[in-house]
A and B are shown apart, each in its own frame.
Chain A
Amino acid sequence: MVAGATLDFSDDRVLVDALRRRDEAAFIWLLDRYDATLRRVAIGFVRNPASADEVVQETWLAVITGIDRFEMRSTVKTWLFRILMNQARTRGTRESRYDVVADVDEDAPSFDPSRFRRGPGPVKGHWRKNAGPAPWDDQPADHLASAETMAVVAAAISGLPDRQRTVISLRDIDGWTAAEVCDLLDLSEANQRVLLHRARARVRQVLEDRFVVVGP
């Protein structure tokens, strides 16, 4: 290999080889790529950010001591997050915070039911007049994505129930597939979708409340 050549660590074989050689660049790559996501997942299982930090640190230490025994039967990503889940579940159970059912069953329609017609007849369940999603299309693009708006989105997500926050973070921030999220969190597809939908509905409502000026 040419000294100084840039290695493609997104290729698991290259990454694992480099980690086994104790190539610091490989470990830094892994840290930068996954540390924030690990933290976001961990916080859903434990009582406070300090505990989450510990869980993540224990995970990294387990990676360091385990990399030479890793047999590549899964991707590095899957392996990494399984270690995290083991650490988080152990601690989360201790701190009794593991409750997915509560977040799924919570009866929270995406829009206030009073925005729809009650019927009778074919109009039942359709939007009432002027009760549809309030438009925010008139926002200039740079305003919609302004730092202020992003802070509102971030706050809305932090305020979500744990499981909803974890799912929306993995799906919409980290770009995981539904299957990856179900596998990691041991969720059925239907439950994963309910959690994601509730989370997005909440963020949408917060944005609607922010942008829509109620008329005189």
Chain B
Amino acid sequence: MANAPRDFDVPEAAVAPKRRGSFSIVWLIPLVAVVIGGWLAYKAISERGPTITISFKTAEGLEAGKTKIKYKNVDVGEVKSIVLSPDRSGVILTAELKKETTPYLVEDTRFWVVSAHIAAGGVSGLGTLFSGSYIGVDIGKSSKPQRHFVGLEVGPVVAADLPGRQFVLHSDDPGSLDRGSPVFFRRVRVGQVVASDLDQDGKGVTVKVFVEAPYDQYVTADTRFWQASGVDVTLDATGIKVDTQSLASILLGGIAFQAPPDGPTSASAEPDAVFTLFHDRTAAMAKPDTDAVPALLYFSESLRGLSVGAPVDFSGVTIGEVKAISADFDEAARTIRFPVEIALYPDRLRARSRHAIAKPTPAERKARFDSLIAAGARFQLKTGNLLTGQLFVALDFFPNAPKATIDWTKKPMELPTVPGGLQELQKMLADLSKKFHKLPLDEIGTNLRLTLQTLNRTLQSTDAFVKHLDAEVAPVARGALEDVRRTLTTAERTLTADAPLQHDLREALRELTRAAQALRVLADFLERHPEALIHGKKEDQK
């Protein structure tokens, strides 16, 4: 074809040297594209971190594709989608995390929503007002990987990697404690409450506290925890003492701990050790009642005002408490009596002797109780507060009480009682009224009437006598009185200033004065001229 004859002239093309190989370089381009694409794909796949699901109650503040997952404020992932859970009780978040987080996605890793939070204790998460809520992560310590998590409704108070120890406290009334409430040691804030939950049986509250290192070493096996909430006002012989922790703890409540001063110094407590949370410091520092002796008291009087927990008091010292009260029909006596179960703490009665006393054996204890009862120790219900009528059980000595012994075969032992003060008063009043009843009031009345009649008669005779006196004696007496008046008038006349007697008397006195003067002149002359006695008075020696 190319060599076909042409009817026009075309210059002949020149000859070029033959090309090497037949592979076209252009195929390098798709090769490079494959390499780039493959590399991108590899990078995308290799950088693709694990996908996890987190369930929350609500997706408030969360947005698919926007909400970040942050660990220590570093982005480690992003929420990809938010869907309702199948049972519509919550939401399920699907989140993609960075590859390097894979080893941290373990069983106890926790997720929670961080948003602005304002509470009495402080303000947190203000940054989320601008950036929107994010999901916080706290990496757990377990090694078991997990991909589905249940999000916490509130963020953990303490991060898992914070050094310190957690302890468990049991309390029947946690007061105003809440998550985040401070924990004090010698008034220094050393930790906080991380959880406060009802017990399974609902009979108490379990409070978990976290004590930061290095303060956690001060929590020993015999450390006591108590509630430092609020203000503790003590009124004693030295005056009023107000004891508080920090102002914040007054508002928020708090927990303080300390080892009892006389306790043995023991090693630091194990993590998650269980302690009792006492209501106040006094209760916490009291000797532990390790040795409680149950006893049963039967009262015949009303237990109104006696509550479980009321003290058993011996001369002002609480030696036990009421555990249970009930009513009981006594078959034998066919009466209703009221059993009161108490717990006695013999340790509190123990003498503070110099020597440590070994724990008494049961036989010794029996002997002690027996001797006490023989000495007249009896239990009695007493009114603690007249206003509220609160009762307590008092132990006191009544040497005149009827003899009683302890029946040691019964469990718990039954201790003798005597009627309480109020009941005694009632009994006395009853006795008194009975005695009143016995009085021969009719007889007394008759006698009284007779007496009164006699008295009446006596009065009548007195009246007659007086009349008689009036008639007979009065005129005579009047005469006598007139005589007396006359005498007095005469005397008056005699004694008046112008009476002749007076005048004479004055004259006589004047004479007497003159005589005395003359006598004095004579005496003077004689003193100067004693010779005159012999020679007689000379004429004037002029």
Pair from one complex: no
Chain B residues engaging chain A, CB cutoff 8 angstroms = none
